[in-house]
Amino acid sequence: MALKRGFSISGLNKNRRGGSRLPIVVVIFFCVLSPLMFFVGRGLYKTSSSTDQNLNAVGSGKQHLNWRERLALQHVKSIFSEEVIDVIRSSTADLGPLSLDSFRKNNLSASWKVIGVDTSVKDNAASEPNQTATVVKQEAPKGKDDNISDDDSQSGDTPAKLARRQLREKRREKRAAELLRQDDEAIARLESAIIERSKLVDGAVLGKYSIWRKEMDSENSDSTVRLMRDQMIMARVYLSIAKMKSKLNLLQELQTRIKESQRVLGDSSADSDLHPSAPEKIKAMGQVLSKAREQLYDCKLVTGKLRAMLQTADEQVRSLKKQSTFLSQLAAKTVPNGIHCLSMRLTIDYYLLPLEKRKFPRSENLENPNLYHYALFSDNVLAASVVVNSTIMNAKDSSKHGFHLVTDKLNFGAMNMWFLLNPPGKATIHVENVDEFKWLNSSYCPVLRQLESAAMKEYYFKANHPTSLSSGSSNLKYRNPKYLSMLNHLRFYLPEVYPKLDKILFLDDDIVVQKDLTKLWSVDLHGKVNGAVETCGESFHRFDKYLNFSNPHIARNFDPNACGWAYGMNIFDLKVWKKKDITGIYHKWQNMNEDRELWKLGTLPPGLITFYNLTNPLEKTWHVLGLGYNPSIDRSEIESAAVVHYNGNMKPWLELAMTKYRPYWTKYIKYDHPYLRSCNLSE
């Protein structure tokens, strides 16, 4: 900075007096005046104010300088002109590495600090700010001396600086108060929100638990059970390691404790089911496990044993899933003992009746076109009774309804006897035996012909047939007897069964009627044959779910995204049926599927094919499905439906039925009936 200042002075003199005196000024500055300039700059800075513009300010501050500084000022005044003094004074705040103040600031010990640093900007729009002197002092305990020195250091401030400092302090205090006020307001808003939220919490739902704390009033009800199971797992791990390392005493002790824990645990799923001796067994097992850990623990061995146990458990889970599938399919296609008992008792009593008492009244209405006719094909007496009873109980005029029941030879007497004993009000009812339909033979019906073939018998009775519960069967679903029964396929022969009827409503035996269905006969089918509720959603229950579109016959004739529809409640226009030869279409596709390459067994896939582009969609409130497999159907949707359908394996007359859906079915059964009581049928 000294060099820079010399250049500035010489440049100034050159501009004013010419360039001939430059060497003399430089020599004088470096040799004589440089040391003096440190004292001059420091003295000028201490005694001058920001408004001083000439050398009179230096003179006014002489009383504060010592005799060396006064002597230096006199020499400087005699040597330099006023312009040079101005340049020197304006540069004292930026003396660079030769500044004494800069040296003091940059080379202080840890017990020194710098205070009083301030900056200001000239009003004449100078490009860089001038810094005030920096006052340094050694830190000492605060007291009266510190306050006096602070007052002394600020005594030289001008009134303007003091006013600005006070204004800044007021602004800081105002800002701090504002921030505190904002914090208080935010806390108040948060508290109000918490109070409002707590009002919305249902105390009845929470019970003894609090959403504001994690502690629970009581332990888990199965914590002891889980502890015993965990102990037994680790005991089995150490048991295998003890056997490997020939620790016979420990091996025997582990076996004993495992047997004791198994006896105490049994089939318990909650702590309340455990034997009172459970805590003692847990303590004894813990002691043995502690001993085993000290003698046998090896991280690699334990990890390997646990991994092997995990794989074994995974295999057991898969095996149990197969068994569950097998048993659920088996339960779905079996008849409960109570219903079988009911059928047998009714059959015996029917054939004991005289012939004249076996006839139903109002048989002349069976072909009356003014009646509302229903077709029901079933071999389940109790299920058929629910369909008929629920329909009649919700009908406005029961005398205008006629029921056409078809069953097999085994249940023909039972079905007749039940409705002779329990007539459905003033409705007309008639029961027929499917085995007496002489026209339904293997030469006319492709399904009967296929059932007589060796390939079909092989598929049903030999090939891939499970020999045990654990083996399961992926195709067991399609081996359900209902797929072999002609009662299931009779729906494709309605005009042959009822040649004099024009319209008929087909009902499955696993449905419940909840509203009057007479309006279905006035629904405009727009020239279509079948009126049904569609079942497709965004991506499911479309044609590609049921049909094999890798087959060219299927891919060429049908749209894989076409919407499926439901059997169970279908209104059929038998006049259009005959005109379109629907039965002939069904026979054609059934013959093509003899090797089961177009679809699996069942009646819905051939129904989708047979009535393709011939089905008119009904409103979804007419028919709600899924009560036999879907546990998440909305209750309001069920109660607003005209017909609810228990399609799936969980039929309402089976023990595996879903409890929450069963009341919709059981309310149409009189469990105090003598026949039901004698067969132990109850809710």
Which residues neighbour 477 within 8 Å (Cβ) at sequence distance 6 or greater?
329
Please, which contacts does 388-391 make with residues 24 or more away whose CB atoms are closer than 8 Å?
Answer: 388/419, 388/424, 388/427, 388/429, 389/424, 389/668, 389/669, 390/512, 390/513, 390/514, 390/668, 391/424, 391/507, 391/513, 391/517
Contact 604, 615 (CB under 8 A): no
pLDDT digit string (tens) for 551-583?
999 999 999 989 999 999 999 999 999 999 999
Residue 618 pLDDT grade (very low, low, confident, very high; cuts 50, 70, 90): very high
pLDDT digit string (tens) for 78-124?
666 666 666 565 554 444 444 444 444 444 444 444 444 444 433 44
Mean pLDDT over 646-651 rounds to 90
Which DSSP category does 563 fall into? B
Tokens in use for 74? 């006199």
Identify the residue with better confidence: 60 or 447: 447
Contact 564, 496 (CB under 8 A): no
Tokens in use for 358? 């076996």
First to last CA, the chain: 108
The model's pTM is 0.59
Q: How far apart are CA 458 and CA 452, in angstroms?
A: 11
- Find tokens 């339904």 and name the residue: 440
Nearest to 138 by CA among 106, 102, 107, 114: 114
In this predicted structure, what is the pLDDT of residue 462?
A: 60
What would you measure as the largest C-alpha separation in the chain, in angstroms?
Answer: 157
Nearest to 482 by CA among 306, 235, 647: 647
481 has a pLDDT exceeding 50: yes
Contact 288, 235 (CB under 8 A): yes
In this predicted structure, what is the pLDDT of residue 324?
A: 79
In this predicted structure, what is the pLDDT of residue 610?
A: 94
In this predicted structure, what is the pLDDT of residue 532?
A: 95
Distances, alpha carbon 42 to alpha carbons 46, 82, 123, in Å: 6, 18, 23
Report H helices in 245-362: 248-265, 278-296, 299-332, 337-351
Tokens in use for 601? 């067994």
Identify the residue with better confidence: 18 or 503: 503
Identify the residue with better confidence: 46 or 229: 229
pLDDT digit string (tens) for 119-177?
443 344 444 444 433 333 444 444 444 444 444 444 557 888 888 888 889 888 888 88
pLDDT digit string (tens) for 13-27?
444 444 445 566 665
pLDDT exceeding 90 applies to what percent of the chain? 36
Backbone φ and ψ for 481, nearest 5 degrees, come out as: -55, -25
In this predicted structure, what is the pLDDT of residue 616?
A: 95
Which DSSP category does 33 fall into? I
Which residues neighbour 107 within 8 Å (Cβ) at sequence distance 6 or greater?
none
pLDDT digit string (tens) for 329-352?
777 777 889 999 999 999 999 999
Residue 607 pLDDT grade (very low, low, confident, very high; cuts 50, 70, 90): very high
Nearest to 628 by CA among 618, 620, 638: 638
Per the prediction, the chain carries an average pLDDT of 77
Residue 36 pLDDT grade (very low, low, confident, very high; cuts 50, 70, 90): low
Contact 386, 348 (CB under 8 A): no
In this predicted structure, what is the pLDDT of residue 32?
A: 55
In this predicted structure, what is the pLDDT of residue 105?
A: 45
Contact 664, 638 (CB under 8 A): yes
pLDDT digit string (tens) for 243-289?
888 888 988 999 999 999 988 888 788 888 888 888 898 999 999 99
pLDDT digit string (tens) for 411-440?
999 999 999 999 998 999 999 999 999 998
In this predicted structure, what is the pLDDT of residue 3?
A: 41
220 has a pLDDT exceeding 80: no
Q: How far apart are CA 559 and CA 562, in angstroms?
A: 5
475 has a pLDDT exceeding 90: no
388 has a pLDDT exceeding 90: yes
Q: How far apart are CA 4 and CA 40, in angstroms?
A: 17
Tokens in use for 665? 């079915």
